[in-house]
Amino acid sequence: LGDTEQRPETLGDHSDRREIERALGGQPGTDVRLSESTGQNLLYLAIPVRSGDGEIVAIARASRTLWSIDTGLRAIYRQVLLGMALGCLLFAALAYALARRISRPLNDMRHTAERLAQGDLGARATVARSPELAALAGTLNRMADQLNDRMTTITRQRDRQQAVFSSMTEGVLAVGGDGRIVEMNRAA
């Protein structure tokens, strides 16, 4: 009854086309073939048109050139690839931010441990936001406090012993296990 490219009276009978036969059977039909009227490879789609009581009264058929479909698909593929690339970049940025959020407190704790090992007993780790890293920083800080307390106690005891040792009027020598003099007071 109608065609967008040709005058219907110039076209032959289409009832033997695969997409039409399927549509006449009540199902949508498709086919890909070279069009006799345009000379191009086309994708055809035929759909049955039903009346109110369900009887097939006509067939609606549409076609597109494979070139236009390929062009459209390429555009979709480009958009999908671009979306995937942007998604990957977003994921990488989030992964980097998460890694930094975890590594920064660990780095701080490592620096604190190095300062403690070098004798800076006032060094303390910054308490992190995550519960696990906060617990680790708290443990490191408690260890530093205990180490500072022990060193203060040892220093106090050594100073006291040194004061007693140096104020004695008798000569005192401290000898090591190898027989060498380790320490002696002024009187000695």
pLDDT in tens, 109-151: 899 999 998 989 889 998 878 888 889 889 999 999 999 999 9
Whether residue 10 is predicted with pLDDT greater than 80 in this model: the reply is no
Mean pLDDT check: name the lowest of 44-48, 157-161, 183-187: 183-187
Spell out the residues 6+ positions from residue 176 whose beta carbon is closer than 8 angstroms to its own.
182
The rounded distance, in Å, linking the Cα atoms of 61 and 147 is 87
The rounded distance, in Å, linking the Cα atoms of 77 and 85 is 12
* Phi, psi (degrees; rounded to nearest 5) at 182: -95, -40
pLDDT in tens, 28-38: 999 999 987 77
Whether residue 5 is predicted with pLDDT greater than 80 in this model: the reply is no
Q: How many CB atoms lie within 10 A of CB 47?
A: 17
The rounded distance, in Å, linking the Cα atoms of 184 and 188 is 6
The rounded distance, in Å, linking the Cα atoms of 80 and 84 is 6
Q: How many CB atoms lie within 10 A of CB 109?
A: 19
pLDDT in tens, 22-64: 999 999 999 999 987 778 899 999 999 999 999 999 999 999 9
Alpha helices in 62-130 (DSSP H): 66-117
DSSP state of 133: H
